Amino acid sequence: MAERIIGLISCVMCAIPFLLYKQCSIAFLITGAGFMVMPIVGIILICLDCTLGIYVMYKKYKRILNMYS
């Protein structure tokens, strides 16, 4: 039970900085819920969140850099 609570708290702490990016914040909150259901589900979701999150943020910042370059 402790690993589920730690997983939830970790995901909530990761979601807080991404409040400007609602999609990323919601993804981390869903992952926290996944940790509460089953820790292995949370681990798989956090790997997907990080992989897809890096790609999404790269696309957003690439567009911003192209506008001001």
Give pairs for 43-48: CB < 8 Å, separation 24+: 46/11
What pTM does this model have?
A: 0.70
Q: Phi and psi (nearest 5°) for 68?
A: -105, 10
Please give the Cα distance from 17 to 20 (Å, whole number).
8
pLDDT per residue as tens digits for the range 6-52: 888 888 888 888 777 787 788 888 888 988 899 898 889 888 888 88
Please give the Cα distance from 48 to 31 (Å, whole number).
10
- How long is the chain? 69
Please give the Cα distance from 65 to 20 (Å, whole number).
18
In the prediction, which pLDDT does 11 show? 86
The mean pLDDT of 52-62, rounded to a whole number, is 84
